[in-house]
Structure 1
């Protein structure tokens, strides 16, 4: 039996796009059963991104099982801290922005 897929729109900016081969936006489909029962959490999505999308220097995106400090995440234009951070359940059609707030100078 085929697992249902969730379509998620990912956006990378503030320099993070370099880690993703200069891709600023990508729509991906992930299994809705990464974390049964059919509840893919933000933590699962972040791991999936590390394993499937990052082309270089994953340590600049993640530390342990979470995002590095200095990366702002917006889920449907709302700070992920308001949405529950790693525990947020991904929904079909979510827009998730990863924005680096750290810049050299």
Structure 2
């Protein structure tokens, strides 16, 4: 029985309205995630926290989710309509994080 390699899951992450400042000031990233596992938004957030979050995690993560004030859009749709943390990422998904947190 030949084993077939599982292709990577390729997605795009985007950050706007200041959220990019927490991720090395990079507004857009193309990711290739391990395709052998199921990737939900919850798993993606853990990966982001461990691998690319460079500044003040408390401004992005609260518990197991994004903190209030961070809007999440998946393919231009509010993640609340897609199941939030339970949404299973699909090839070529575009995940956009927008900060509505502004100092004053």
Measure how far apart 1:33 and its partner are: 3.3
User: 1:5-61, CA deviations, whole angstroms, 9 ceiling, x for partnerless residues?
Assistant: 101100011111111111000001111334xxxx21110011111111111111111
Query: Aligned residues, how many?
Result: 101
Residue matched to 1:10: 13
Q: Which runs of 4+ in 1 moved over 2 A?
A: 1-4
TM-score, with structure 2 as normaliser = 0.90
Q: What is the Cα-based RMSD across aligned positions, in Å?
A: 1.3
Measure the CA separation in 1 of the matches of 2:6 and 2:64.
Answer: 24
List aligned pairs for 1:1-105, cutoff 5 A.
Answer: 2-34=5-37, 39-105=38-104
SS at match of 2:50: helix
Name structure 1 gaps, 5 residues minimum: none
